Amino acid sequence: MLTERQELVLQRVVEEYLDAGMPVGSKALSAGFAWGPSTIRHELASLEELGLLAHPHTSAGRVPTESGYRYFVDRLLPARVEEPPLALSLVRREVDEAMRVTTETISQVTDLLAIVTAPPIETATIRHIEVLTLQPQVLMVVVITSTGGVNKRMFTFDSPVDTGLADWAASYLNECLVGTGLGARRLTQRLLDPSLSRAEIDFLTALMPVFTDLSEAAEDSVYIDGTARLLALDRSGDVSELNALMDMLERRVTMLGLLQAALSGREVCVRIGAENDQPALRSLALVAAGYGLPQRTLGTVSVIGPLRMDYPRVISIVRDAAAQLSRFVSEVYDER
């Protein structure tokens, strides 16, 4: 624990450095405090000994260390930073579009890398199925999910399809599958009714790819935007493992695991530098928050940026986006 004076000095150093990106000296700090320069220099030295500040050059001022940022985030941030609400406009959007809009908006507002994970596949269910005859030998199957997603697939058969069989399939699929989750194994089990004729089973089996496609598409549920923004800025000192970062972003399963591990609830999580398990993030900072239903977290909203990040503003933006997504998914899933 620091003294009140040390906390004030540390807070000013972090805020000045976040604003200007230059080491902060005692002369720059003296204008805002009633204490003399010698007192400020003493406190700067004490904070450096504690590992909260670093002295890049002999004649330069101090800059925050990772521990200094951590103390600032944990103890010195204002309770709330008043930021204008994000204009996400999620009403009447499908879930995948809402995730994409959220990711793009956060990246544009923060000028950083934004990542949003969609609700997991098992939370969506089938709402309605259509089997449409386009030509005697061509059918289109349309599957609408509880999240508003629409998946359609064309099927071409070697011979004309009995329209009665197609109508029966539509009725049977709706009867058996509406309300069922999208897991391929679960869908297959519901369709394997031994009382069906061989022709009916063969026909349903031929249509099964539309459901497995839907399942596989839903599993790739990480939305990323702003990679170019993060890399285009002059942050070479912060992005030291560029290749590792690019590789991690390509391996979306790794990103899912990283974000899930960072969160244990809905509170905003901040990981700074070496606190990140992934080597690619050791020179960066991660701010993340969960969103979802009252009793269940469905996904995460996160921002990745340099250690010199405007933490108060980014935390506020991530918290706001998570709250808006929680309201959105509550409406989609008809839960309040």
**For residue range 246-274, what is the model confidence (pLDDT) as tens digits?**
777 777 667 777 777 666 666 899 999 99
Q: Spelled out in words, what is the top-level CATH class assigned to the domain 122-218? A: alpha beta
Dist CA 182 CA 189 (whole Å): 12
Instruction: Give residue for tokens 């009252």.
Output: 294
The pLDDT, as a whole number, for residue 84 is: 76
Give the residue among 96, 99, 103, 189 at the shortest CA–CA distance from 145: 96
pLDDT at 32: 75
Between these two residues, 169 and 118, which has the higher pLDDT value? Answer: 169
Contact between residue 47 and residue 71 where contact means Cβ atoms under 8 Å apart: no
Let me know the angle formed at the C-alpha of 25 by 24 and 28, rounded to the nearest 5 degrees.
Answer: 90
Distance of CA 18 to the CA centre of its chain: 24
Domain ranges across the chain: 4-76, 95-120+221-332, 122-218
CA 5 remoteness from chain centre: 38
The average pLDDT across 4-17 equals 94
Q: CATH fold of 95-120+221-332, please?
A: Beta-Lactamase (3.30.450)
- Report pLDDT for 1: 82
| Strand 113-117 versus strand 296-306 pairing type | antiparallel
* Residue reference for tokens 């598409």: 217
Q: The whole model's pTM is what?
A: 0.76
The pLDDT tens digits for 47-105 are 999 999 998 876 678 999 999 999 999 999 876 566 777 888 777 677 888 888 999 99
Domain 4-76 has CATH 1.20.1580.10: no
